[in-house]
């Protein structure tokens, strides 16, 4: 869990200064998982993100935020007030040693402090500055403030989630828009560092979270191009194009839900439906109506709602006699497209994730325990990707970075701390 050895990882030669809040924290975490030396810079007293729950054992504490643990692992941590004159000077010293700066302040804020890209490149012409903001550094909305929900909505994903008869709903407890922006920030930073290796020049990378969301919603765009109709929120149903027919896609079973769609036409006749009906018949749950169904010529657009409901009934009654595992195992034997809807417990126990060594036990000496983390974003064949260290405590690496690496005296560090600089 200590600092990775040089040449052991893909990004171990690089130092990243992380000034992000919740909008960009995951960016630094990803870069750190590939071995970059990521230094999280917080305000003296700690980053406000530390107050985002849930908390370890449900005890609100700035040192026990699971949100902070998840997105600030793989980082060292220092405190620094970059709005003060001494703080700015310290930050400039850090920039001289850094390969990249990632930040998520409102556009223009860093420039107002005298720490914008135009100033930083004078200090270090090779530095890359990645700015992750709701709407980017340009355009009429650049100065708008936005939550994850607003970015999710203005990126076009919110209109796709929820029941069609009700207002759109956001994904539960997951800052999806921020995570998408962070991921774009991470790969773009790496590409900019690669370009620097070719050109010798740094640059500013401008990430708009709205754009990160927009590019993930390509299917509704394609649906519009193909049909001229906005795709409606389907939720547990699939809306047949140019029709009022809604086909069930999520089905209740004994212990949860599975995903399965009943196709008509050639696919339904040659793939899922006949073996599915045969399975029902083997267990006495199919009659002549469903056994004699002409799947090849079944056109859902010309099928009445009553007949759709009748066909659904056969499948629904059968599924309710099985568990998710029973259906999945039976589907694999019969080559059926049935997939369990995994709960969080299912994910933690999933054999595929275990086989890929996805989960990692991370030591938390300050808590006297270890915590299970999602361990890696990829499996490089020639270098490791993992959690190297838990998230830092407030100012945990002040001495290591200010004294041991920048060469400040112990007395100077004490003065800076008393002055509220660090």
Residue 292 — pLDDT band, cuts 50, 70, 90?
A: very high
* Residue 162 pLDDT greater than 90, yes or no: no
pLDDT grade for 240, boundaries at 50, 70 and 90: confident
> pLDDT tens, 178-189?
999 999 999 999
Residues 76 and 179 reside in one and the same domain:
yes
- 400 and 253 in a single domain? The answer is no
Task: Answer whether residue 24 shows pLDDT above 90.
Answer: yes
Residue 388 lies in a domain: yes
**4 within domain boundaries:** no
10 lies in some domain: no
Say if residue 50 is in the same domain as residue 139. Answer: yes
Q: Is the pLDDT of residue 2 over 60?
A: no
pLDDT value of residue 3? 47
Domain CATH for 193? 3.40.50.10540
Structural contact between residues 178 and 172, judged by C-beta atoms closer than 8 angstroms: no
Q: Are residues 75 and 181 in the same domain?
A: yes
CB 88 within 8 A of CB 82: yes
Residues 198 and 319 in one domain: no
Mean pLDDT across the stretch 371-395? Answer: 92
The whole-chain average pLDDT of the chain stands at: 93
Q: Are residues 339 and 385 in the same domain?
A: no
- Residue that terminates a domain, selected from 315, 345, 375: 345
Domain assignment present for 228: no
One domain for residues 38 and 135: yes
Decide which of 324, 345, 366 is a domain's last residue.
Answer: 345
- 245-286, pLDDT tens digit by residue? 888 999 999 999 999 999 999 999 999 999 999 999 999 999
What total number of domains does the chain contain? Answer: 2
**Do 58 and 121 belong to one domain?**
yes
Q: Print burial letters for 120-138: b (CB count within 10 Å at least 16), e (below 16).
A: bbeebebbbbbbbbbbbbe
pLDDT at 94 exceeding the cut of 60 = yes
Residue 1 in any domain: the answer is no
**Which residues contact residue 139 at a Cβ distance below 8 angstroms, ignoring those fewer than 6 apart?**
none
| Same domain membership, residue 295 and residue 195 | no
Do 239 and 208 share a domain, yes or no? no
Q: Kindly state whether residue 171 falls inside one of the protein's structural domains.
A: yes
* SS3 of the chain: CCCCCCCCCCCCCCEEEEECCCCCHHHHHHHHHCCCEEEEEECCCCCHHHHCCCEHHHCCCCCCEHHHHHHHCCEEEEECCCCCHHHHHHHHHHHHCCCEEEECCCCCHHHHCCCCHHHHHHHCCCCEEEEEECCCCCCCCCCCCCCHHHHHHHCCCHHHCCCCCCCCCCCCCCCHHHHHHHHHHHHHHHHHHHHHHHHCCCCEEEEEHHHHHHCCCHHHHHHHHHHCCCCCCCCCEEECCCCCCEEECEEEECCEEEECCCCCHHHHHHCCHHHHHHHHHHCCCCCHHHHCCCHHHCCHHHCCHHHHHHHHHHHHHHHCCCCHHHHHHHHHHHCCCCEECCCHHHHHCCHHHHHCCCEEEEEECCCCEEEEEECCCCCCCCCCCCCCCCCCCCCCCHHHHHHHHCCCCHHHHHHHHHCCCC
Beta bridge partners of 42: 79
Mean pLDDT computed over 324-339? 96
Q: Is 280 within the bounds of a domain? A: yes
Whole-angstrom CA distances from 10 to 270, 329, 384, 417 are 47, 39, 8, 35
Cβ atoms within 10 Å of 141's Cβ, excluding its own: 13
What residue has token string 């839900």?
A: 257
Domain holding 246, by residue range, is: 234-345
Shared domain for 332 and 365, answered yes or no, is no
Instruction: Give yes or no: residues 173 and 281 share one domain.
Output: no
* CA atoms in the 13 A half-sphere facing the CB of 252: 4
């Amino acid at each position: 869990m200590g600092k990775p050895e040089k040449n052991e990882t893909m990004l171990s030669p690089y130092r990243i200064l992380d000034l992000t809040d919740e909008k960009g924290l995951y960016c630094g975490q990803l870069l750190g998982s590939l071995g970059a030396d990521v230094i999280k810079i917080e305000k003296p007293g700690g980053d406000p993100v530390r107050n985002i729950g849930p908390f370890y054992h449900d005890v609100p504490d700035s040192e026990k935020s699971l949100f902070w643990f998840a997105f600030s692992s793989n980082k060292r941590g220092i405190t620094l007030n970059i709005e003060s004159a001494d703080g700015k000077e310290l930050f400039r010293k850090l920039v001289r040693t850094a390969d990249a700066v990632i930040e998520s302040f409102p556009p223009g804020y860093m420039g107002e402090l005298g720490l914008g890209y135009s100033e930083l490149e004078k200090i270090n012409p090779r530095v890359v500055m990645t700015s992750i903001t709701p709407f980017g550094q340009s355009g009429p909305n650049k100065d708008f403030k936005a939550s994850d929900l607003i970015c999710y909505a203005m990126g076009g994903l919110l209109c796709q989630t929820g029941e069609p008869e009700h207002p759109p709903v956001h994904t539960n407890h997951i800052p999806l828009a921020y995570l998408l922006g962070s991921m774009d920030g991470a790969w773009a930073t790496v590409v900019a560092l690669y370009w620097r290796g070719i050109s010798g020049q740094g640059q500013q990378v401008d990430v708009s979270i709205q754009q990160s969301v927009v590019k993930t919603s390509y299917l509704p765009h394609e649906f519009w191009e193909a049909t001229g109709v906005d795709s409606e929120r389907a939720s547990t149903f699939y809306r047949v194009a140019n029709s009022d027919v809604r086909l069930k896609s999520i089905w209740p079973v004994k212990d949860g839900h599975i995903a399965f769609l009943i196709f008509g036409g050639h696919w339904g006749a040659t793939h899922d439906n006949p073996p599915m009906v045969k399975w029902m018949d083997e267990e006495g749950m199919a009659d002549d109506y469903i056994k004699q169904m002409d799947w090849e010529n079944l056109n859902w657009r010309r099928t009445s709602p009553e007949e759709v409901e009748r066909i659904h009934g056969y499948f629904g009654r059968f599924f309710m006699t099985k568990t998710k595992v029973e259906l999945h195992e039976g589907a694999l034997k019969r080559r059926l497209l049935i997939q369990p809807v995994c709960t969080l417990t299912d994910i933690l126990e999933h054999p595929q994730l275990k086989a890929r060594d996805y989960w990692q036990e991370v030591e938390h000496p300050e808590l006297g325990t270890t915590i299970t983390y999602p361990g890696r974003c990829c499996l490089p064949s020639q270098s490791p990707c993992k959690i190297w260290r838990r998230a830092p405590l407030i100012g945990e690496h002040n001495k290591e970075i200010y004294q041991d690496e920048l060469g400040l005296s112990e007395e100077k560090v004490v003065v800076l701390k008393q002055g509220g600089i660090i």
